[in-house]
A = this chain, B = another copy of it.
Amino acid sequence: MPIPINRQLLLASRPQGEPRPDNFRLVETPVPEPADGQFLVRNHWLSLDPYMRGRMDAVKSYAKYVELGEVMTGGAVGEIVASRHPQYAVGEFVTGAFGWQEYTLSDGTLVRKVDPQRAPLSYALGVLGMPGVTAWVGLLDIAQLKAGETVLVSAASGAVGSVVGQLAKIKGCRAVGIAGGAAKCEYAVTELGFDACVDYKKGALYEDLKTALPEGIDVCFENVGGETLDTALRLMKPFSRIAICGLISQYSATEQYGLRNIRSVLVNRIRMQGFIVSDRPQLWPQALAELAGHVAAGRIKYRESVAKGLEQAPRAFLGMLRGENFGKQLVQLI
C-alpha cells in the first residue's frame, strides 16, 4: 500500500508589494500520524482571506507572521480521519486554522465542530464562520448599529461585506455598498437587498456616494481603506462610527495612502475602532446561532468562488487580493 501523501503550500519568499505565485512552494510530505491527544483532519475546503496577506510580511502584527518554509496560515474545514483524542471521533467534521494543506494534525485548540447537516460544509468558512461572525461583531458590537441608521460597507459583495449589508437590512437599516464593477453592484442590490451599491471603478466615488447617501453615514464598515475610507470620512454624520475590519487596498501597497479627512473624526465626534473577531470569543455562539437562523430562513444569501485543488490556492489568493473573486473565495481540496 503506498504511503499517503500530504500536499502542502509553504511560504517560499516574502512579497515585495503584490504577492506572486513564486512566493509559495508546493511540497509533498508523508501524512503524519496522530500522537496521544491528537487527531488527523482531511481538509475538504480551504478558506482564502485578505488577512493572510499580512501574515506574509515579517512585521509585528496582532498575530505571528508565517516563517519562510512554514505552511501558510489559513482556516479550513474537514473530516477527522484518525484520532487519539477522547473528544474528537473519526467521522466528525471540524474547522480550525489548519493551514494550506490537505491533512492537518490538531490537539483541538481553537477547533470548532461543524454539523454538515445544518448547512453546506464550506459555509463554516464563510457566513457561518469567521467572515460571518466578523460582520456580526463589527456591526452590532463595535459599531453598535441601531435600527433606522444608514450603513456603508466596502467590498460589499465579499464574504464579510455581503453579510454586513444583509444584517443591516434585517436590523431595519439602510444599507449602501461599494464594490468593483457593475455585476457585483447589481448582485448587491438585486440579490442581497442593498438599497444602493456604488461601483468604485466608475471613478466618481465621492459624487456617487453622495447621491446614494444624501443624509450621510451612521456606520461605516470598512474593509478596503485608502481612498475608500478617506471618501467615507467626508460623508460621516455627527456621532457616527467606523468599524475598521480590513484595509485590503493597503496590504500590498509599497507606500501607504495618506488619509486627509481625519478632521471629520473631530468635527463629527466619530468613534473609529479597529477590531479582530478572534478577540471576542464570547460573542461567537450568539453570532453563529443568529446567522444560522438567517441562512436557514433565506434571509441571508451567500455566494462562493471555488478554486479546485490545493495547487490553485496561490492564484486564487492573488486574484482575491485584486478583487477578481465574487463572494467568498474557497479552495476545494477533495
Contacts and interface: CB of A to CB of B under 8 A. Distances in A.
Contact of A274 (B244, B247, B265, B273): B265
Categorize the interface residue count of chain A: 20 to 34
Nearest to A225: B262
A268 B62 contact: yes
Given A268-B62, A268-B274, A269-B274, A260 B262 contact: no
A200 interface: no
Contact of A269 (B260, B261, B266, B273): B273
Contact of A273 (B229, B250, B271): B271
This protein's copies in its complex: 2
A238 B54 CA distance: 17
Interface stretch (A11-19, A120-128, A251-259): A251-259
A276 B272 contact: no
A267 interface: yes
Interface string A54-86: 100000011000000000000000000000000
B272 A238 contact: no
Contacts of A279: 269
21 contacts: A62-B268, A225-B262, A229-B262, A244-B265, A245-B266, A247-B263, A250-B263, A256-B260, A256-B262, A258-B259, A258-B260, A259-B260, A265-B274, A267-B274, A268-B274, A269-B273, A269-B275, A270-B273, A271-B271, A271-B273, A272-B272
Interface of A: 54, 61-62, 225, 229, 238, 244-247, 250, 255-263, 265-276, 279
